[in-house]
Chains A and B, each alone.
Chain A
């Protein structure tokens, strides 16, 4: 009995690692584990179920991510992998890992402000430039290159940059 449990938890760890390595196709420095999209991995005999939650309602990356998870598990030796999408509890940028925030900043995207609240949605936002660090920045467009980002500009170094919206 103990051996079976150990074998299961070892399998689950391997399946988790494989799923967790999948990259967000629109922000290729983040894995779905960094994003907080990966919620659970369930292994039963030779079947694996990966549970994910969508970020934005209309995010087109989600279909791609589900496909990539199946491919990653197949590569890791799991023949019967299935992805299940759950809506509840709803994803929030608060679930993004510290590691994810660090990688985003290094990539030139300002990470979302922690603790998403309505105040952060509507209040004055202080977003520091990821290039030069100046806080003299301005919002160019609330809607950026993907659903999750807004377009900002630094008035000190004049560089435009993306800000991962607080959600």
Chain B
């Protein structure tokens, strides 16, 4: 890695925006890895479209973070010049695509959350965050619908697709708890009416999932032990590999433009 990492002054609001931006960028990048490899053309377009929405959300959130920080960072520096320990996304979104079932279960877990989260954030006291939420909640609703249809088709499909979908659920379940966690800095933003408490959404998230998973004849795990770390920069081994690809151009040719 040729270029030095930037330093970011992570005030609670900057950190808040970085966390959401990193979630969107990393999941968007993961989905973009399917481009040209999806099981059929329509799905290739769908996954690329969802990736585009997420990367677009990330851009707006990075721009907001950079402006809030008020130094000379911008969306590109935040995306390309932070190392793995500086990334703040939840562990769920960095998990590898695996088979198609794993990609779709990951999407279902995240989109079912994002749909509720952005819909609630529309009432944020910060007008920029509220505007980003207004756009994102509509996009997330489409993503959720798409993932739901696939989970039902996979779960209620063949023995093979059912087993793969169930395996993916078991495998990814422990990464879902982190979406609902908050720290002290974020709690202050919640009290100030700028952010909303994701913990209050878990009940409705479970209801949404139960309906979809039930119709898919699949089962949610009973085990409630949850893995955490991504929000404070302790990631799985997968994120470093992802970033080395995502950042290789800017690290090799600093400041490169189209």
Binding site for B on A (CB under 8 A): 54, 56-60, 87-91, 116, 118, 121-122, 140-145, 147, 151, 165, 167
Interface of A is mostly: loop
Interface contact tally, CB-CB below 8 A: 75
Task: Give Cα distance in the complex from A20 to B73, angstroms.
Answer: 33
Residues of A with C-beta under 8 A to B46? 141-143
The answer to the question of B60 belonging to the interface, with a C-beta cut-off of 8 Å to chain A, is yes
Contact flag A144-B60 (CB < 8 Å), given A57-B136, A58-B52, A88-B127: no
Interface residues of B in 24-55 (CB under 8 A from A): 28, 42, 45-46, 49-55
Interface residues of B in 134-175 (CB under 8 A from A): 134-136, 138-139, 141-142, 145-146
For chain B, the count of residues having a C-beta within 8 Å of the partner chain is 29
CB atoms of A87 and B135 under 8 A apart: yes
Task: Give Cα distance in the complex from A143 to B38, angstroms.
Answer: 14
**Most chain B beta-carbon neighbours within 10 Å: one of A60, A87, A89, A145:** A87
Contact flag A122-B141 (CB < 8 Å), given A59-B56, A143-B49: yes
Task: Give Cα distance in the complex from A45 to B28, angstroms.
Answer: 43
One of A58, A118, A121, A144 near B53 (C-beta < 8 A): A58
Q: Residue of B at shortest CB range from A166?
A: B138
Task: Give Cα distance in the complex from A56 to B28, angstroms.
Answer: 15
- Minimum CB–CB distance for A139 against chain B, Å: 10
Task: Give Cα distance in the complex from A141 to B42, angstroms.
Answer: 6
The answer to the question of B128 belonging to the interface, with a C-beta cut-off of 8 Å to chain A, is yes
